């Protein structure tokens, strides 16, 4: 249904070479970018290398080091003006062996993944009765009755577009749940996996220990296993679980952000940033999260270089390190470069499905401007612009007042595989990635070319969120 052909715009390209008024120059660039990107296929080739040949890439892993070297090499081979890396120290958490099982009133293995950053269980593992709650408020109601127990947060995530509760709601259980449970005396925390397809698949992700609570071990279990525990408890049984986690937090490791530029022809100091994150969780291949975003950013740079489209301002690609468990790459980038004039920063970090539009957080009028610029992307179904967006890696820049945007994909199936062993290359098609490249290349070029920059966002804390 999104098969509107780029051909009519391509016809405008016959004017290429003649001196063009701004409007026609714009249309000529549109046709060249879309016409080339939509038959490109190279983003998927890049993603295939990153996922099949390098694999998952947790911060501090040898695979992430290989991915950083590969990304820099790829950008150099693709002829960018300037390619470099910037060293960043990142946390190093290692999963180790893990196992869990219901041991009473029946015996059943549980499908689990320790949460990123979890401490290990005591020697020999732990065994405790399970208390089930559906949220942090319910946990608070239970007070110290959870003492010595394993708290299970069992809240199903809404499946499908816009279904509630969404990830933004349930993710609090994963990040805040362990310390909340520990404060009330729990010895461990289990989480019904935050995912939208129930194929007995555990989904990991970062927890956040607070300083005022003991650090207790925490793991995500498959939705089906959480349902089983729920049924046993509902029948009045005391349910006991044995949990064994051998995770370790080691000394911080050296890592790096990868950067590359297409230098602007008139205002090279002014930057349009396009970014994604190169690290992933330590399961699956990090294909949707966020290998796809990296492949799209890499190929966008390559495409604009090949077409020799050199806009007024500089387009800078940044592949951030350590988005998943620390945001150290994002913070380091803002520290080093936050003082440079950034016209806008755009992140792609919601998978590699078909692009549907952009999210924008900037000053008054920015949404309307982006909507106008996105109009040619209606041909590929990517012209829908929302008044919120950005990305985790852009948070520190946003706090400095930089306008931020996200390239938005159809997220219907994103959380089916997010942070799980099923986040693999086969979930991403070349056609969808080509469309993402078309959308990002067009928008980055248009924003870098446009005479007036996007209106700046209100400063952090000024009620702009």
Catalytic residues: 323
User: Which of 244/279 has CB closer to Zn ion?
Assistant: 279
219-233 as b/e, with b when 16 or more CB fall inside 10 Å? bbbbbebbebbbebb
Burial (CB count <10 Å: 0-12, 13-18, 19+), residue 124: exposed
Task: Identify which range of 96-104, 145-153, 248-256, 288-296 contacts Zn ion by CB under 5 A.
Answer: 288-296
Residue 84 beta carbon to Zn ion: minimum distance, rounded to whole angstroms: 23
Residues 213-232 that bind Zn ion (CB under 5 A): none
DSSP 69: H
Give the total of residues touching Zn ion (CB under 5 A): 3
Residues 316-355 that bind Zn ion (CB under 5 A): 349
User: Which of 41/395 has CB closer to Zn ion?
Assistant: 395
User: Which of 89/278 has CB closer to Zn ion?
Assistant: 278
Residues 387-416 that bind Zn ion (CB under 5 A): none
Rounded Cα distance between 178 and 213, Å, is: 9
Residue 160 beta carbon to Zn ion: minimum distance, rounded to whole angstroms: 21
Determine phi and psi for 368, rounding to 5 degrees.
-65, -40
Residues 348-377 that bind Zn ion (CB under 5 A): 349
Residue 55 beta carbon to Zn ion: minimum distance, rounded to whole angstroms: 16
Residue 392 beta carbon to Zn ion: minimum distance, rounded to whole angstroms: 7
Task: Identify which range of 53-61, 147-155, 180-188, 282-290 contacts Zn ion by CB under 5 A.
Answer: 282-290
Sign of CA dihedral 191, 196, 201, 205: negative
User: Which of 132/432 has CB closer to Zn ion?
Assistant: 432
Task: Identify which range of 33-41, 172-180, 286-294, 399-407 contacts Zn ion by CB under 5 A.
Answer: 286-294
User: Which of 180/287 has CB closer to Zn ion?
Assistant: 287
Task: Identify which range of 135-143, 284-292, 401-409, 437-445 contacts Zn ion by CB under 5 A.
Answer: 284-292
What is the residue-wise DSSP string for 215-232? ---EEEE-HHHHHHHHHH
Task: Identify which range of 177-185, 208-216, 281-289, 428-436 contacts Zn ion by CB under 5 A.
Answer: 281-289
Rounded Cα distance between 408 and 411, Å, is: 8
**Strand pairing report for 112-114 and 218-221:** antiparallel
Of 436, 428, 404, the C-alpha closest to 52 is: 428
Q: CB–CB of 390/398 below 8 Å? A: yes
Residue 290 beta carbon to Zn ion: minimum distance, rounded to whole angstroms: 4
Rounded Cα distance between 37 and 232, Å, is: 54
Burial (CB count <10 Å: 0-12, 13-18, 19+), residue 281: buried
Look at the block and give the residue holding tokens 């290359």.
425
Sign of CA dihedral 155, 161, 162, 163: negative
- Which tokens sit at 16? 């290429």
**Single residue of 28, 290, 347, 416 touching Zn ion by CB under 5 A:** 290
Q: Does 289 bind Zn ion (CB under 5 A)?
A: yes
Look at the block and give the residue holding tokens 């070349």.
430
User: Which of 170/373 has CB closer to Zn ion?
Assistant: 170
Residues 101-130 that bind Zn ion (CB under 5 A): none
Residue 168 beta carbon to Zn ion: minimum distance, rounded to whole angstroms: 14
Residue 280 beta carbon to Zn ion: minimum distance, rounded to whole angstroms: 8
Residues forming the site for Zn ion (CB under 5 A): 289-290, 349
């Amino acid at each position: 249904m999104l098969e509107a052909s780029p051909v009519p715009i391509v016809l405008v390209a016959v004017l290429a070479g003649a001196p063009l008024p701004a409007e026609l120059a714009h249309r000529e660039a549109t046709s060249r970018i879309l016409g080339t990107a939509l038959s490109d296929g190279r983003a998927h080739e890049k993603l295939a290398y990153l996922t099949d040949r390098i694999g998952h890439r947790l911060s501090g892993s040898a695979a992430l080091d290989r991915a950083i070297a590969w990304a820099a090499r790829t950008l150099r081979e693709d002829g960018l003006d300037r390619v470099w890396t910037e060293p960043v120290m990142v946390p190093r958490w290692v999963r180790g062996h893990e196992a869990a099982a219901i041991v009473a009133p029946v015996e059943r293995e549980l499908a689990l993944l320790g949460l990123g950053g979890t401490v290990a269980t005591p020697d020999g593992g732990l065994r405790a009765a399970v208390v089930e709650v559906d949220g942090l408020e319910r946990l608070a109601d239970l007070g110290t009755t959870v003492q010595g127990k394993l708290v299970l947060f069992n809240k199903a995530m809404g499946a499908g577009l816009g279904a509630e509760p969404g990830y933004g709601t349930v993710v609090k259980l994963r990040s805040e749940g362990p310390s909340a449970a520990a404060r009330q005396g729990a010895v461990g925390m289990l989480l019904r996996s935050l995912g939208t397809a129930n194929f007995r698949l555990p989904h990991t992700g970062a927890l956040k220990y607070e300083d005022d609570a003991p650090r207790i071990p925490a793991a995500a279990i498959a939705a089906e296993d959480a349902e089983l525990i729920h049924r046993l408890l509902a029948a009045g049984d005391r349910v006991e679980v044995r949990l064994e986690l051998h995770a370790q937090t080691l000394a911080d490791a050296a890592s790096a952000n990868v950067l590359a530029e297409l230098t602007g022809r008139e205002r090279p100091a002014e930057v349009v940033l396009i970014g994604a994150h190169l690290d992933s969780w330590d399961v699956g291949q990090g294909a949707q999260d966020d290998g796809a975003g990296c492949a799209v950013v890499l190929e966008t740079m390559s495409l604009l270089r090949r077409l020799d489209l050199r806009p007024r301002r500089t387009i800078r690609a940044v592949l951030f390190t350590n988005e998943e468990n620390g945001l150290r790459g994002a913070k380091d980038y803002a520290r080093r470069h936050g003082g440079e004039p950034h016209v806008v920063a755009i992140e792609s970090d919601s998978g590699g499905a078909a692009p549907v539009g952009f999210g924008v957080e900037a000053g008054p009028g920015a949404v309307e401007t982006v909507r106008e610029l996105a109009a040619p992307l209606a041909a590929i179904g990517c012209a829908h612009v929302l008044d919120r967006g950005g990305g985790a890696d852009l948070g520190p820049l946003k706090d400095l007042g930089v306008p931020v945007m996200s390239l938005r994909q159809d997220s219907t199936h994103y959380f089916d595989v997010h942070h799980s062993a099923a986040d693999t290359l086969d979930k991403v098609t070349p056609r969808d990635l080509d469309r993402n490249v078309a959308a990002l290349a067009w928008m980055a070029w248009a924003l870098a070319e446009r005479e007036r920059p996007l209106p700046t966002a209100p400063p952090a804390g000024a009620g702009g969120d």
